[in-house]
Amino acid sequence: MTEKETAEIRRRYRPDKTNITSLRGCYVNEKGEIVSEFHQPLSSMQEQERENMMSLLKRTLSGAAGRNLIDISFATQQVAGSEEHSLLMKLRDSALGDEEAVHLLFQKVTGAVSMEEDYLVLLACESFDVPRRGKSLDELEEDSPEVFSYFICSICPVKASKPVLSYSHAQKEFHNCNVNWLVSPPELGFMFPTFDDRAANIYSALFYTRGIADGHREFIDAVFHTEIPMPAAEQKETFDAILVEALDKECSLEVIQAVHEQISDMVEDHKSSKAEEPLTISKQAVKNVLSSCGVDEEHVTAFEEKFDQQFGEDAGLPPQNLVNVKKFELNTPDVTIQVRPECRDLVETRMIDGIKYILIKANEGVEVNGIDIHILE
């Protein structure tokens, strides 16, 4: 799903906009045991409760594509007759009314999810008429023959509130408030099917993870039985390791500055183009940067080989998984230096009298602990 398609679904998560009529789910204790199940109409909730519930479900469609939101692709043979895809289709087609299918999904989730606290499995289903595109790409017409039906699954930790003091006017005394169990934003979840080209794509699901370090591989295998790209944090660590190992002593500040700058420029150009398809960084794009920095061809070839081994020959990686375009940071065992990305050229490395230094250009406006200082000649 593109960012625009995800945003269109996300905008529906308002009490006055949604066609979701009820919620299903179960409460699971820290041992992975289902304590209770529920099937609650939204109409039975107060207005603020409905808004909070919509906000909670909406979080399952939040975050960056390729980082928090990951497309799950099903093989043709899976769609043709696999147990995992058949279950998802039953849940969607029955609008979560197939009791056997719902309970089977609960079993798969509780068998694959491990949390230190209790959690909720929330299920919601919606069908709506897909507005057609008007003459302007940003305009939507109301009448449409296309109906999109999907369901969403959110897995939300339930945490105990901390005891706090409360003052009773009647008793004129302080007492601890009762501990409440609060539903937290989802840690993971998914939407099936995806909304691709403004229609249902039963060959795909959209998986959500709040933390970029945990790939939730047990959950993916249990529910989708397919492979997904390595987690965003692991992609970053792997990419960094490839650069260090392949470039060896040529892995300099200047080279890393160039890689950061070029990828950041590609992100800005992609935003300016308003392209709907998400940007990915190819092996060739990084090779071009390395070559332009004068990196030895042997080291460039080593980078290519290691990239293929870790990610695959034709892999395209989300830029936000490779560099932080909003931050440029240098670390030594004793010092951390943060520079605005657009000012990364103010930093350089130099060898002086056999000692390695990191130099920062500074003319005016230098402060130490909030005190303006002068740099003596």
| 194-209 pLDDT per residue, tens | 999 889 999 999 999 9
pLDDT band at 143 (very low <50, low <70, confident <90, very high): low
Q: Average pLDDT of 131-155?
A: 72
Q: How far apart are CA 36 and CA 188, in angstroms?
A: 20
Q: Residue 312: which region, alpha, beta or left (left: phi > 0; alpha: psi -120 to 50)?
A: left
Q: What is the pLDDT of residue 142?
A: 55
Q: How far apart are CA 179 and CA 50, in angstroms?
A: 23
Exposed, middle or buried: residue 186 (CB in 10 Å: 0-12, 13-18, 19+)? buried
Q: How far apart are CA 167 and CA 244, in angstroms?
A: 59
Q: What is the pLDDT of residue 278?
A: 85
Q: Average pLDDT of 256-277?
A: 90
Q: What is the pLDDT of residue 137?
A: 45
Most confident of 5-9, 42-46, 189-193, 196-200: 189-193
First-to-last C-alpha distance (Å) of the chain: 58
Q: How far apart are CA 136 and CA 141, in angstroms?
A: 10
pLDDT at 225 over 90: yes
* Residue 334: half-sphere exposure toward Cβ, Cα within 13 Å: 1
pTM of the model: 0.83
